[in-house]
A and B are shown apart, each in its own frame.
Chain A
Amino acid sequence: MTTLLWYIFAALAIGGGVGMVMGRQPVASLLSLVLTFFSLAAIYILLEAHFIAAVQIIVYAGAIMVLFLFVIMLLNLGHDYRADLRGLAWIVVGSVSAGVIGYMLSRALTTEGAIVDQGGAEMIDAALRNHNAVGAIALPMFRDYVVPFELTAVLLLVAMVGAVLLAKRRV
């Protein structure tokens, strides 16, 4: 049952991604991308990453996509029906390079000994049992990764100041 659900959501994710690349209007591309984000959230739940799934929906499908939608509406891009695909040469180059990247990554993943099972599934199940979905992530984050966590806070502050400074009109 979970495997069937996984394949359904994987097909939806790939379909959303292809729809985003093929979409002629920015809003259509954006909605296809939202479909991909929701499918990925479902796949995270199937992989027992419940907190990540919730954050995926709140941050990506909520915040980032609304930001994109606001910019598309602000710049009034929806009426531009002209296709913005590059020429045939670029399409060939893009497909070939994506194929090479996909082939090399698949080769790297299928190499014998590339993925060593260190019992992560059991550790995650135990952490989910003992603490809950949030605590399982919060414990390593605030015990082993405090400095990176604080640095992301600084990064977000800098990004906020930078975004306001870049987008505001000259006064």
Chain B
Amino acid sequence: MADQSLFLAVILFAIGTVGVLVRRNAIILFMCIELMLNAVNLAFVAFSRSVGIEGQVFVFFVMTVAAAEAAVGLAIIISIFRHLESVDVKDFNLLRG
């Protein structure tokens, strides 16, 4: 079951990659990144079946980083929405030369 979980993690990571590349709504891009982080967590838990409990400890740290990233990222999206009235990434061209 741990081996199949690794392949499930690969599939979920690939789905998240497709989402990041295909969608234009910044909030959905963030959700896809959360899905990729979850796929990595699943891989860590699956590896903990062969390596030891450390895999589950690392999942804890990944979750902390994901929570911090979601909070800061959504704050940035709110800040951008105030200026541009949009969350579409094609409107985010402030840094374009």
A2-B1, A36-B38, A67-B71 known; A127-B53 Cβ under 8 A? yes
Q: Taking the nearest CB of chain A, how far is it from the CB of B2, in angstroms? A: 6
Q: Taking the nearest CB of chain B, how far is it from the CB of A72, in angstroms? A: 6
Contact with A along B58-74 (1 / 0, CB 8 A): 01110111111111101
- Chain A positions within 8 Å of B, measured between CB atoms, are 2-3, 6, 10, 13-14, 17-18, 20-21, 23, 26, 29-30, 33, 36-37, 40, 43-44, 46-49, 51-52, 55-56, 59-60, 63-64, 67-68, 71-72, 74-75, 77, 84-86, 90-91, 93-95, 97-99, 101-102, 105-106, 109, 115-121, 123-124, 127, 136-137, 140-141, 144-145, 148, 152, 155-156, 158-160, 162-164, 166-167, 169
Q: Is the interface of A mostly helix, strand, loop or mixed?
A: helix
Q: Are B70 and A13 in contact (CB under 8 A)?
A: no
- Chain B positions within 8 Å of A, measured between CB atoms, are 1-8, 10-25, 27-28, 30-32, 34-35, 38, 41-42, 45-57, 59-61, 63-72, 74-79, 81-82, 87-88
CA distance A36 to B38 in the complex (A): 9
| Contacting residues, chain B, for A115 (C-beta < 8 A) | 3, 6, 47, 50
CB within 8 Å: A-B pair count? 232
Closest 3 CB pairs of A and B: A94-B21, A159-B68, A166-B75
| Contacting residues, chain B, for A17 (C-beta < 8 A) | 11-12, 15-16, 19, 35
A64-B34, A166-B75, A167-B79 known; A36-B14 Cβ under 8 A? no
Find the residue from A43, A52, A137 having the highest chain B CB count within 10 A: A52
| Contacting residues, chain A, for B35 (C-beta < 8 A) | 17, 20, 33, 36
Q: Are A156 and B67 in contact (CB under 8 A)?
A: yes
CA distance A37 to B7 in the complex (A): 17
Q: Taking the nearest CB of chain A, how far is it from the CB of B67, in angstroms? A: 6
